[in-house]
Amino acid sequence: MFPNVDWQIMMEQTWETLYMTLVAGVATFVIGLALGLILYITNESLLLKNRPIYVFVSAIVNVFRSIPFIILIILLIPFTLFLLGTMLGSTAALPALIIGAAPFYARMVELALREVDRGVIEAAESMGATKWQIIYKVLIPEALPALVSGITVTIVAIVGYTAMAGVVGGGGLGNLAYLEGFQRSQNDVTFVATVLILLIVFVIQFIGDRLVTTIDKRSA
């Protein structure tokens, strides 16, 4: 049915895509959450409002969020070479994936935290909570559904990024579709790679949605 598809290679590349997505996803979650918290905390008078830090972090986030991903990869080649000694393969795609996705997620984290009712933060303050207790006992639990749906959207975007990274030397299904499918005019390879990518996205979205439903206690 798919004469040009080597299933062995197809599966290997699927794992490569999953590997990049997962590692970049976890790193993006951690870095994005930290950046998002900094953005929120430094812009909130109840916590540690600090205009210079906010403006600085905000500017960096905006710059990296605005560079088209395909250009970001190229710009980051010297950095990747310095860090890993190579610009080929799945691991070499990780720095660009993380630097591309973390600022995106950081903005989502900031928005999610801003949705937390200020009254609840004030209530915690009135009970004598420290700033740190407010962050980990109030802000993060209260914003959790939005944080989870945000990381779901971000990871789906990362899957798309891995395909682009594939074109300039990263591994995975994008790389396979480009080299084997497009350049050698084997449309069946492109087709199967696309179906697999769609499947990965659907599974991620499904898991994310289920998680949000479980943790969201806002509606009765």
Partner 1 sequence: MIQLRNVAKWFDTKNGRVQAVDDVSLTIDRGEIFGIIGYSGAGKSTLIRLLNRLESPSSGEIEVAGSELTKLSPKELRGVRKNVSMVFQHFNLLWSRTVAENISFPLELIGVPASERKRRVQELIELVGLAGREDSYPSQLSGGQKQRVGIARALATNPEVLLCDEATSALDPKTTDSILELLVSINKKLGLTIVLITHEMHVIQKICHRVAVMESGKVVETGQVSDVFQHPEQPITKEFVKQIGAVDDLSLTFEHLKERYPSGQIVKLKFLNETAEQPILSDVLKTHQIGFNIIGGNVTQSQVGALGTLFIQLIGEANEIDRAITSIRSQSVEVEVESDVS
- The reply on whether position 117 binds partner 1 by CB under 8 A is yes
- The reply on whether position 211 binds partner 1 by CB under 8 A is no
Angstrom distances, CA of residue 55 to CA of 40, 67, 106, 215? 11, 19, 14, 33
Comparison of 71 and 220: residue with beta carbon closer to partner 1: 220
**Span near partner 1 by CB under 8 A; candidates 5-13, 16-24, 115-123, 149-157:** 115-123
Nearest to 172 by CA among 24, 23, 19, 17: 17
Site for partner 1 in 119-148 (CB under 8 A): 119-120, 122-130, 133, 137-138, 141-142, 144
CB of 127 to partner 1, least distance (A): 4
Comparison of 7 and 132: residue with beta carbon closer to partner 1: 132
Cβ atoms of 148 and 215 within 8 Å: the answer is yes
CB of 145 to partner 1, least distance (A): 8
Say how far apart CA 62 and CA 65 lie, in whole Å: 5
Query: Is residue 195 exposed (0-12), middle (13-18) or buried (19+ Cβ within 10 Å)?
Result: exposed
Interacting residues with partner 1 (CB under 8 A): 117, 119-120, 122-130, 133, 137-138, 141-142, 144, 215, 217-220
